[in-house]
């Protein structure tokens, strides 16, 4: 399936970025350039975070140029489908949540056109495939944040949202999970989510975007 294939590409790209394997990064970006990307695929694989990392780590290089080109291409092609599978005004509006003002892909949950609920969220279940490549430390952090969110949503929603939060923080610090900034940011978020019910509800119903939460 294309989704599983894209997840494999994301994993390889993340490893290449960590290992500073620029030739491998370029090869993977060339492959990703030809993938028929969709809004749903962006959400379920979080591949956009990896492209953002590559663009930020290698500015003014062929890598940054390729990543930017792919992001712009996906921005033009991807939109959340309406109920009749056509691009309505509402679905076009949701496209603004895919990229930020700098052209980075924002893969947080878009709930602006959905009925608010405290118990469930739209979950791409294949996110669990990514967890197989996570360190024990990252898994423990996700479980900790999940325990706080579980006060206001179901277990599956809490796990997925916690995954998204940790992934956003990890992406912000270029996948260097041993950085002090990474640990301090997640400690702060964990404390605030535990103490602040309003913040938890904003995360659950999507009224606060993941990029805004971690910045």
Residue with tokens 């967890």: 131
pLDDT (tens digit per residue) in 108-145: 444 444 334 444 556 555 667 777 888 888 889 999 99
pLDDT (tens digit per residue) in 93-105: 333 444 554 545 5
What's the whole-model pTM score? 0.47
On average, the pLDDT of the chain sits at: 76
For residues 215 and 170, the answer to whether their CB atoms sit within 8 Å is no
Spans of all domains in the chain: 2-97, 127-214
Own/partner long-range contacts of 147-155 (Cβ < 8 Å, ≥24 apart): 148/190, 148/193, 148/194, 148/200, 149/193, 149/200, 149/203, 149/204, 151/197, 151/200, 152/118, 152/197, 152/200, 152/201, 152/204, 153/118, 153/119, 153/120, 153/121, 153/204, 154/119, 154/120
Domain range 2-97, CATH class: mainly alpha
Q: Cα 126 to chain center, whole Å?
A: 13
Q: Identify the pLDDT of residue 145.
A: 92
Low-confidence ranges of the chain (pLDDT < 70): 1, 79-127, 174-178
Closest by CA to 99, choosing from 60, 132, 136, 68, is: 68
End-to-end CA distance of the chain: 34
């Amino acid at each position: 399936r294309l989704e599983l294939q894209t997840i494999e590409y994301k994993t390889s790209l993340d490893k290449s970025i960590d290992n500073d394997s620029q030739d491998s990064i370029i090869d993977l970006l060339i492959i990703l350039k030809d993938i028929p990307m969709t809004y749903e695929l962006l959400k379920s694989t979080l591949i956009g975070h990896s492209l953002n990392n590559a663009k930020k780590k290698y500015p003014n290089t062929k890598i940054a140029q390729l990543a930017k080109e792919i992001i712009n291409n996906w921005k033009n092609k991807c939109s959340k489908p309406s109920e009749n599978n056509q691009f309505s005004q509402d679905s076009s509006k949701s496209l603004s949540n895919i990229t930020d003002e700098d052209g980075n892909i924002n893969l947080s949950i878009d709930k602006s056109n959905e009925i608010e609920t405290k118990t469930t969220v739209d979950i791409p279940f294949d996110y669990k495939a990514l967890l197989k490549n996570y360190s024990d430390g990252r898994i423990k952090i996700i479980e900790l944040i999940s325990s706080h969110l579980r006060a206001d949503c179901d277990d599956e929603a809490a796990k997925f949202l916690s995954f998204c939060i940790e992934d956003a923080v990890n992406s912000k610090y270029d996948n260097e999970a041993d950085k002090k900034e990474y640990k301090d940011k997640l400690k702060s978020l964990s404390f605030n989510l535990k103490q602040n019910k309003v913040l938890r509800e904003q995360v659950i119903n999507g009224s606060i975007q993941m990029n805004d939460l971690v910045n």
